[in-house]
Structure 1
Amino acid sequence: MNLKLKKYSLPLKHTFTISRESHDFQDSLVVCLSQGGKTGYGESTSNPYYQITFESMQAEIEAIRTEIEDFVLETPEAFHRFLVERKLSNFAICALDLAAHDLYGKLHHKPLFELWGTSNQNYPITNYTIGLASIEKMLEKMREMPWPIYKIKLGTPEDVQIVSELRKHTDAVFRVDANCAWDAATAIKNAKALKELGVEFLEQPLKADDWDGLKALKAESVLPIIADESCIVEEDVKRCAGYFDGINIKLTKCGGLTPALRMIKEAKSLGLKVMVGCMTESTVGISAIAQLLPQLDYVDMDGAMLLKEDIATGVQILEGGKVIFPTTGGSGVELL
């Protein structure tokens, strides 16, 4: 396979703030893998929480460039095993794995969801994320993007008040993501108030390793609890079953579509709801997530919608959440 790496600094429409950080740009690595006259594209974003930068991913991949270019793609799964054996980070593996899946589907002239034996006739609608800001700014974002489901980023002493004020201006479903900012007592208390305000579930309200707190929360919360930071890789799924009602899989964190497919299957066998989330990727990464839609209960794939400028074509998300899937194979990605 021929390998090319591209760096992008994706400008955001608004400063994106969660409980632990803010940023106006998202650095992103796009991998291009070519074979048989076709090119597949994959993406991973930098992430300070996991100490991942474009440069760190680039260095990992360049160190095995010759081996990658000597690899003949027969299945994405075989390529993923090869990458794991080389001990790359999951973020670097993700970009390569997504590119391999896109390439594989294009070589076989079928979208990935079809190759996986699923139908795109029914799928969940993505939420649209409202980052932490002043209430006035959060309302401005909601007015700018009327949407049926909002994910509200929280993590302040005024969290219930924030949701109460936002509720006055929309009948949309709310989901709350506190990004590990609460303790168990706060989460139990907030859940009661937030349920009355039309919140569907809480995503990772406690620190990832606060298992005692999570156990207490699971027992007493009036809202479902979805794992994010507590569920990074395949091995985490089983443990989460005793502490959460569902899991949010991030392709960058788990290492791409190959492990995500296994995580979805295991989560369902354990009775967990399944969500796939994004990390403010461009349409390159979002188009890969979209291939999983028929298998999901919830999805957060609004990354490209949060950008001032996109870098690719692929899946389109229309007003109200309808998804237009590309007619080309794989994830259907082409760089602009």
Structure 2
Amino acid sequence: MLRELSARHRSWPLAAPFRISRGVKHSAEVVAVEIREGEHCGRGESVPYARYGETIESVLHQIQSVRQAIDDGLSREQLAELLPAGAARNALDCALWDLEAQLAGSSVWSVLRLAPPQVLTTALTVSLDTPERMGEAAARIASARLVKVKVDASAPAAQIEAVRRAAPAARLIVDPNESWNIDLLRDMQPALAALDVALVEQPLPAADDDALAGFESAVPICADESCHVAADLPRLQGRYQAVNIKLDKTGGLTEALALRAAARAGGFRIMVGCMICSSMGIAPAFLVARGAEFVDLDGPLWLEADHDGGVQSRHGALQPVAAGFWGQADGAIGDGAAASAR
């Protein structure tokens, strides 16, 4: 039976501005994909990211370029040969996984021989602001077990210290989003250690990775913008101790799982992250995040409103999406819970 592909831009307003060193977001701008085959519909979502040269228009164009192949029954393996890793391939790959599970009357996790998605401890993010306001934001989530702190190069020690005072028991991830240089990273070592930071994520621009060769950090350093797919790992050895796996970078669940396996084999610690997106973009990531040391999947928690049946959080305990929302055929009760109507 022939398939029918549709893709569209969707905007989700945020409940509060989300600031990082590169700018501020007021909405999550996503590309939503549906692939229909008969009565079944596989869904996926991605976030085009300007840092990687992507726009809504460019991602929609990439998706349209494979429309005929998708309609003719393109497989996920063939998709990886036609599109590079990135947002367009992510939305299509995840939609194909969803569709395949429905056609099989099963679930994605059963196909992968995994347990059903379970509650995860996610980081809750304190976005970039003045130290005073960051401390106030941290106080509102002080009961979270894991807090991510967005910083820049202006006053990072003060920013982190304000969060630490407000959330003394939380593990901290510090994310400069490539805004530091090697001298600032070196100068920050005493503060990172004193403030008991658990992980520093992509402190330097990806193009400056060589500066990390042989650098002995007091805190493990995680590659984000420097790590997209499994083929990136060899050049990260000796520079990073962890990698952040995001579906929008890997080009979907298929490569994300391959990257996780290769990273573990290479001795890297695992973080699973996300863009600011809806629960449709997060649901597949639950299958990558199982067993990860650091999970940062709070993207939908920034939205004013999310999909019905989307993720729910209580103090950073992230409940998976409702049964039947993504990756599970209606009525596939044996996969963990009775599936609800889509």
Give the TM-score normalised by structure 2.
Answer: 0.88
Question: 1:153 pairs with 150, 153, 160, which one?
Answer: 150
Deviation (angstroms), 1:332: 5.2
Return closer, same or farther for 1:143/1:55 CA change in 2, 3 Å cut-off: same
2:166 aligned partner: 169
Structure 2: how far apart are the matches of 1:36 and 1:315?
A: 28
Q: What is aligned with 1:76?
A: none
Partner SS, residue 54 of structure 2: coil
1:249-328 correspondence runs (5 A):
249-324=245-320, 326-328=322-324
Show the counterpart of 1:23: 25
Letter in 2 for 1:178: P
Matches of 1:136 and 1:206 in 2, distance apart?
A: 25
Aligned length: 328
Once the two structures are TM-superposed, the CA of residue 109 in structure 1 deviates from its matched residue by 3.8
Percent sequence identity is 31
Task: Provide the rounded CA distance (Å) in 2 between the counterparts of 1:63 and 1:118.
Answer: 33
| Larger mean Cα displacement after TM superposition, 162-171 or 80-89 | 80-89
Q: What are the residue-to-residue correspondences of 1:206-217 with 2, within 5 Å?
A: 206-217=204-215
Structure 1 residues 246-276: Cα deviation after superposition (integer angstroms, max 9, x where no partner): 1001111111111111111111111111111
Question: CA offsets per residue over residues 212-271 of structure 1, 9 Å max, x none?
Answer: 311143xx2111111111112221022212211110011111111111111111111111
CA contact (8 A) 2:309 2:321 kept: no
> Which sections of structure 2, spanning at least 5 residues, go unmatched?
330-339
2:332 aligned partner? none
Q: 1:68 aligns with which of 42, 67, 70?
A: 70
What is the alpha-carbon distance in structure 1 between the residues aligned to residue 255 and residue 117 of structure 2?
Answer: 24
**How many Å separate the matches in 2 of 1:193 and 1:32?**
47
Kindly provide the CA deviation profile for residues 310-330 of structure 1, in whole angstroms up to 9, marking residues without a partner as x. 135344334441424533385
TM-score (norm: length of structure 1): 0.89
Q: What's the secondary structure of 2:134's corresponding residue?
A: helix
What residue in structure 2 maps to residue 33 of structure 1? 35
Rate the CA distance shift 1:313–1:142 in 2: closer, same or farther, 3 A: same
Name whichever of 311-320 and 90-99 sits farther off. 311-320
Counterpart of 1:205 in structure 2 is 203
Distance 1:316 1:117 in 2: 25
CA distance in 2, matches of 1:322, 1:59: 34
Contact 1:204 1:225 in 2 (8 A): yes
Could you tell me which residue of structure 1 aligns to residue 336 of structure 2?
A: none
Comparing 57-66 with 277-286, greater Cα deviation is found at 57-66
- Alignment RMSD (CA, Å): 2.4
List alignment gaps of at least 5 residues for structure 1.
Answer: 73-78
2:204 maps to a residue whose letter is L
* Cα pair distance change 1:135/1:291, threshold 3 Å: same
Aligned equivalent of 1:138, options 129, 134, 138? 134
Q: Which amino acid aligns with 1:196?
A: A
1:180 aligns with 2:178: yes
2:16 to 14, 17, 24: 14
